[in-house]
Amino acid sequence: MGKYSNTPFIWSFGTTSFRQRNLPLKLEIGCKALQNLRLKYPKDAWSSLYANFLDELNKFEVINYSGSLPEKDARAISSFLEQMGLCDNQRYLTEVGLKILALAEPHEKIENEFNISEYGYIYLLQLLKKTYIFQNHEVDEVHINPFVLILVCIIDNGYITPDEFKYFIMTANDNNEINQISERIKKYRESKDKEKYKFEYIVELYFSFKNSQKMYTDFVINNIVPDSAIRELGVNNNGSQYEQSQEKLYLLFKAHKNKNKTITLEEVEKIINSSSEGNKKYWKKLLLGVGRKQKDKQKYFETFLTKIENMKDLDFRKWFLYNWHFIKTQKLLDDYFDLNRRVLSMTELFSLETNLELNLFPLSFFKDRREELLSWAIESNNVDNYKYLKLEELYDGKLLPNSNKIYDDLSLQLNETVTASNVNYIIQEIKNQKFAEMVANKFDEDTVIQILEDVRDQYLATRANIIKSQEAKIQNAVSQDADVPTIFEYISAIAWYYISNKKIAPLESMNLALDGDLLPKTHASGGQADLLFKYRNYPQVPNHDFILEVTLNKDTNQRRAEMEPVSRHLGVYKIQNPNVEVYCSYLAHRLDKNTIIHFRQQKITPYYYQEQWAENNMIIPLEIDNVIYAIRNKIDYSNLYKIFKKAYESEAPLKEWWKSEIASQLS
């Protein structure tokens, strides 16, 4: 009989053992940890540094891992970095990894062809190069460029549903199959029984490989697998003991079919619930139905038993083996799908809210490059994933867009003339409109207030379980791929949008990278103000620029981490923009008293930069509760501006100033 094995046929970006929220930041932290590691141990073999690497990661306190298996955890985390081309197989940073770290430092922003963030552009370039190699097929190794596959299928079909992505996209093994997969999606959409279509496709694919065929022949055709070895048919990489519940199910149904035992619904539920492989819901759906009352579940189960009783023995074995491996594949696809969505989100090209779609500009960019993309899929097998290559350096520049075609296509879709001179403005206006619609649907004023309260409460909490539960609540409300400080900055921009009676464009104020659905996904680039609002022709206030710096640092950390950068951002901005009035607010969950006094002192403390002085610097400290009060009580920006100006000009004693001039007006 021999031991059975699987043939890999599912790809993923990275590894599911490093499935993290706020993935771009976690990858950057991983790069920093590796950089620190290699500074200390420049010549040591990677295999001797697992525990040291985890020690470096722990210093950042942002990456979640079990900590119980250092060798496995270190390999899983660093393997993701290597697969994305950020480090090599000995865990030295590559050109790409160093580029990621450079973005966190102050630098002049470099524009790109897609008008996305520099982080998004790097991950786009990496995915264009990313080839998945299947080495254990019966033929020579086969390759698939998943990103090209996704682009072509969207070009051909307009969008990809989650199920289409899981069952057809993620199971593609060969670049030569890309056209076939696109056609298969069309056939799937035409099918009347989509569940049956998916089942038959996966089963046919899985049992097309020689080792799976041997399993089928031994178990179904020849019936030579003894009852004591049924669990081996699960081909579990962690050991056959993890398939005991499936073995028990099979033997129970077999005994019932042979009239050796009458089985009950409760027995089957007990076996399913004993499974340790995370596939309980799939077996329950198959055997018990889903979302049914107990009496309806019983009726469903009895109908199922009748079906089993009427099967021939060979058909029963075939039915069980097919469903067993379909369920195992479903579980794997669901796990990998979540990871793949997170990685695709990093490129900022896609809308992933329901289906997977290209946003307007990237769709126009790629739609006339279909054949070039297919050719590139083959050539990308030999491209150095560790080297930072811009779009013009890939495929001899053949992926560069034909600008005239893009502008013509955009003009047709938008029903207005799009040219090189106005394309960025038009795209930005479309984003602003999309953002306003998203905010109206997802972040009304009450929701914004609730999120701000949750952020405040999390950072005032001292118990670890409360901090963790609050973090999950905040991320569930906004984005799983952003940490709380990033979410605070994002929600603060939306809060100011409401305070300003929706007369400003929050998107244009943010120094954040957003995903294709305009949700936050990473932190700001270094050296810049958090939020910058430009008020022009706003009622009852003069034209001016307003910097809003936000922080969740506590107590002494507030003084150490924030006092210098906030003063610097305001001072430098005033010197660089001498013809516009500029002032700043500093927003925290709770203000440190020494921080308040420091910012008040900036009124008489000039800031020196490039042989010039910025004087009369106005910095107004605020707490989250002040912003909440303004939203609840409809204190719009023109009134806030007057409150801030009056506070700045006040002669109140330094120690009493904030309480008498700000807190008394906004609480």
31-64 burial, b at 16+ Cβ within 10 Å, e below that, comes to bbbbbbbbeeeeeeebeebbebbbebbeeeeebe
Instruction: Give Cα separations from 157 to 149, 169, 343, 363, 397 (angstroms).
Output: 12, 13, 21, 12, 26
The residue assigned the tokens 């801030």 is 644
Is this prediction's pTM over 0.85?
no
Tokens representing 1?
A: 């009989």
Strands 142-144 and 357-358: unpaired
Q: How far is Cα 6 from Cα 209, in angstroms, rounded to an integer?
A: 8
Quote the DSSP letter at residue 662.
I
Give one DSSP letter per residue of 387-427, joined into a string. S---GGGSGGGTTS--HHHHHHHHHHHHTS---TTTHHHHH
CA nearest neighbour of 524 among 577, 578, 559, 565: 565
Give SS3 for 65.
coil
Burial of 567 (0-12, 13-18, 19+ CB in 10 A): buried
Q: What is the distance between the alpha carbons of residues 530 and 526, in angstroms, rounded to a whole number? A: 10
Contact (Cβ atoms closer than 8 angstroms) between residue 387 and residue 95: yes
The sign one gets for the Cα dihedral 175, 179, 182, 187 is negative
C-alpha dist (Å) from residue 361 to 165, 240, 467, 516: 22, 50, 40, 11
Q: Where would I find the H helices in 130-177?
A: 146-157, 162-164
Which residues are 583's β-sheet partners? 546
Task: Give the CA distances from residue 437 to residues 158, 259, 433, 667, in Å, rounded to whole numbers and listed in that order.
Answer: 22, 62, 6, 30
Whole-number pLDDT of residue 526: 53
pLDDT value of residue 194: 95
DSSP secondary structure of 66-116: -SS-HHHHHHHHHHHHHHTTSB-TT--B-HHHHHHHHHTSS------TT--
CA 4/CA 251 separation, integer angstroms: 20
- Count the Cβ atoms, other than its own, within 10 Å of residue 105: 9
pLDDT of residue 185: 96
Question: Could you name the CATH architecture of 428-663?
Answer: 3-Layer(aba) Sandwich (3.40)
Q: Which residue type occupies 125?
A: L
β-strands 132-134, 357-358: how paired?
unpaired
**Helices and strands, number each (H, E), in the chain:** 27, 10
Nearest to 323 by CA among 222, 195, 472: 195
Mean pLDDT by 10 residues, the chain (667 residues): 81 75 81 95 93 86 54 79 94 96 83 85 95 70 91 96 97 92 96 96 94 94 94 89 92 90 86 83 84 73 88 95 96 91 91 90 90 92 92 90 84 88 85 92 96 92 86 90 88 96 90 85 63 93 93 65 77 89 92 88 86 88 95 95 93 90 92
Q: Which residue ranges make up each domain of the chain?
A: 428-663
Counting every residue, how long is the chain? Answer: 667
User: What distance in Å separates the CA atoms of residue 94 and residue 86, rounded to the nearest whole number?
Assistant: 5
**Contact 286/327 with Cβ under 8 angstroms?**
yes
Collapsed DSSP state (helix, strand, coil) of residue 357? strand
* Exposed/middle/buried for residue 542 (C-beta within 10 Å: 0-12, 13-18, 19+): exposed
